[in-house]
Every structure is written in C-alpha cells, then in structure tokens.
Amino acid sequence: MPPAEPLALPETRAAVLGRFLRGSAGSGIAIGARTAGALLLNKLLAVYGGPGGLTLLAHFQNLMALFTTLPNEGVHVGLIKYLAPLRAGSGRYRAWLGAGAALNGAALLLGTAVLLAGRGPLAGIFRPSVGWLLLFALGIGLLTAHVFLTSVLLAAGRLRAYVALTVLLSGLGVGAVAVVLRAGWPVEQALLAYLLAQSFTLIPTVFVCLRHGLLPRPRGPLSRPALRGLGRFLLMAVSVLLFSKAVDFVLRDVLILRFSLAQTDNWQAVAKLSDNYTMVFSALMGSVYYPRLARLAGQPAALRRYVRTVLLLLAPGLALGLLALYLLRDWLLPLLFDAHFAAARTLLAPQFIGDWAKFLTWTLLFLLMAQAKVGRYVAVQAVSAGLYAGLLAVLLPRYGLLGAPLAHAARFGVLLLGCGVYFRNYLRR
C-alpha cells in the first residue's frame, strides 16, 4: 500500500467541490471525444448497418469487453493506485510495472484460447472465419497494451498526453467504420476494422511514454508482492466479468432469440444511449474521483468529507440531466439513431431511473476498490447479478421488452438502498 499522505488542514466543502470540478474540466476534452465518437458510431450503424446493425455493434463491443475487462478493470486500476506515489524508474515502480505487464499477458493468452475454443457461442452471430478471430485477438492485444500505457500516463499525472491519445483513438475507430461501410463491406468487417484501427494508437502511446521516461527496463524476476497486490484487483475484475459483462452478453442473446434482431434494436437504442452517458460518467470518475479516493485512503475524515460532497453534487445534477434527456426523447432518438427508433421512447423512463441509482451506487462502490476490499466487492457483484437474473425472469414474460429496463431500475434501486445502509457513515456529517 502507498504511504499515507501527511496530515493537513481539513478542506472545506467548497475546496473539495472545486478540486473535483477542476479535475472534471481537465478531463473534459478526452471525455467529449469519446462521447462524440460513440454517438457517431451509433449513428453510422443505425443508418447504414441495416436491421440489427445497432445490436451487432453492441454485441461486438460487449465481446471486446469480455476480453478486456480483466486488464482494464483489474490490472490497470491497481496500477494507477500503486504507481501514482512512486518515482518512475525506482525499484518499486519497475516491480509494479513488470507485474502488470505479466498479468496482462496471461489474461490475453487465456482470452485468445477461450475465443478459439468457444467461437460459436461467443462470436457465432458474426459468422467469423479463423482469420477474423485471429485479427480480433490481435486487435484486443494491441488495444490492451495501449490502455495499459495510458494507465501509466494517468498515474504519472500526464493528463494532456492522455487526452490527446484518447482523441486520436476515437477518431481512428469511427473513421475506419465509415470507410468500410461506405465501401459496401458487411457490418462484421466494419466492426473488425473499428477494433484494429483503435489498436494502432499503441504506436504513439509507446512514443509518449518513452519520451516522459515512464517505461524503464525491467530488472530481475517478477515481484511476488506486486503480483499479489495486483492480483487482488484482478479478482475484483473477474467478478465484473462474470456478474456484469457476461450477464449483459447473455441478456442480449436472450432478447435476440425472443424478439428478433429488429425488435431488439429498440431496446438496444435505449441501452446505447445509456452506454454513452455512462461512458462519460465512468471516464470522469475513473480519472478524477477514484485516484483521489486512493490518495485519501489513510485519512478517514477527509475521505468521508470528499465522498459526501461528491454525492451531494451528483445526486441532483444527475437527476436534472436525466430528466432533460427524457423531456427531449422524441427529438433525441431519431437524431442519435434513426427515425424508426422513436418507438423506443416507452423504454426510456425506467432506464433513466435505473441509471440514476446505478451512478450513485457506483460512486459508493468505488470505496471498496480504493480500499481493495476484494471479498465485499465480489459479493456485491454476485448479489447484483443474481437479483438482475431473477427480475428478468419475472418481468420479461410479463412486460416484453419493457421488462429489461424495469429489471434494470429495480436492480439498482435495491443496490442503492443496500449501499446507503452499508456506507451510512460516509453520508452523515
């Protein structure tokens, strides 16, 4: 664990709020680029991808997530926590960096083997050839290496470099899809081009890290304490993979079988809209909120004050933002997707309610990550998945597609209540 910061005078609520807002503004360009890229990608697939194009995009991105969750939600989260207080080139820095690279390599090898063995259940909807699968695995490997190095940049406080690389990544992915679709190639090839184009961002990322001296040569054998330390975060990522990403993947398969690709597109439009602003929230909290939680881990009073202040800002702010989206729904759905997606308007209310509860729940669960409380984090993920599956089993037969967002709202409503009770000390003055 990094050493606790020296004692300092407690910050006022205004100072805490100012720090959070300044950090948010600093990440704004990167978040804006990712959001714009995601919106353009959705529009391209909704208009030019044919019936089910939007669902195929979501399924492809979900497939990517199945193979990147362990590095991104585990190794890279741990790296930011442990590298942040260290000097680049120090022995401990090299130890954490080497352990992270080794764990990423192992996760990618395992993922490639699983992909080749389970190509039917995992990628059958894309009708993949062996060449398609191998190119997919290559793209995942290169993209994971890029994200690994951007985590190193974030730990070193190189936010400007991170922003520039994120803008480049978003532009390359959308540009590749536009070119391939305009050339008349099928959606499956356009999606593969999207992944491979993004993976080329690794080249400038390596250059930037070398220029800032953030990639010292490894020395000696792998550090067992570093492997154990990052392994705890990897275990939390396994729970996200099994109880979140895999559940979403299976749910989409169930909806496709039950309602067809074209019908599922309506639910997918709502889910993609949610994914877009969820990406903004996740990027903001991951680059501003979580690093601050990690630094305050040894200062309980300051940590409680920070969490409470951020929640007091987020709860009404998120509610107003989601309400605005709901009021604009008849204009927003055709604009972001296509005219026939206006039929998805009836699914929006429960999705927005569930997302409000989800964001506040995640804000509290970040505490378990910052404090590396693995068992409790895994338990929450397992309970969440079980609750969601039970709600879907009850609500889908009765309400049809509407049952999916209703289950989402009920799931996170229950989780928010539970987190409010568990973290009640952080909510009191």
- The string of pLDDT tens digits covering residues 135-178 is 999 999 999 999 999 999 988 878 788 888 988 998 999 999 99
Say how far apart CA 291 and CA 82 lie, in whole Å: 10
More confident residue, 392 or 29: 392
The lowest-confidence range among 130-134, 166-170, 209-213, 293-297 is 293-297
Please, is 198 exposed, middle or buried when counting C-beta atoms within 10 Å of its C-beta (0-12, 13-18, 19+)?
buried
What number is the average pLDDT over the span 368-382?
85
pLDDT at residue number 220: 75
**Distances, alpha carbon 383 to alpha carbons 70, 187, 242, 387, 390, in Å:** 20, 36, 12, 6, 11
Tell me what percent of the residues of the chain surpass a pLDDT of 90.
34
Q: Is residue 154 part of a domain?
A: yes
Q: Is residue 146 part of a domain?
A: yes
More confident residue, 243 or 12: 243
What number is the average pLDDT over the span 416-426?
92
Helices and strands per DSSP (H, E), number in the chain: 19, 0
Chain centroid to Cα 337, Å, comes to 22
Q: Is residue 8 part of a domain?
A: no
pLDDT at 6 over 80: no
Highest mean pLDDT (candidates 35-44, 103-112, 261-270)? 103-112
**Distances, alpha carbon 107 to alpha carbons 67, 196, 229, 302, in Å:** 8, 19, 16, 36
Q: Is residue 148 part of a domain?
A: yes
Global pTM value: 0.72
Q: Is residue 7 part of a domain?
A: no
Give DSSP secondary structure letters for 52-107: THHHHHHHHHHHHHHHHHIIIIIIHHHHHHHHTTSPTTSHHHHHHHHHHHHHHHHH
Tell me what percent of the residues of the chain surpass a pLDDT of 70.
93
What number is the average pLDDT over the span 210-239?
86
pLDDT at residue number 303: 87
**Domain interval for residue 371:** 13-427
Q: Is residue 4 part of a domain?
A: no
Domain count for the chain, please give it.
Answer: 1
Say how far apart CA 315 and CA 157 lie, in whole Å: 28
Q: Is residue 3 part of a domain?
A: no
pLDDT at residue number 2: 39
Quick one: tokens of 322?
């989601």
Helix ranges (DSSP H) in 328-402? 329-336, 348-370, 374-399
Tell me how crowded residue 235 is: count the other CB atoms within 10 A of its CB.
Answer: 16
pLDDT at 370 over 70: yes
Say how far apart CA 2 and CA 81 lie, in whole Å: 8
Q: Is residue 5 part of a domain?
A: no
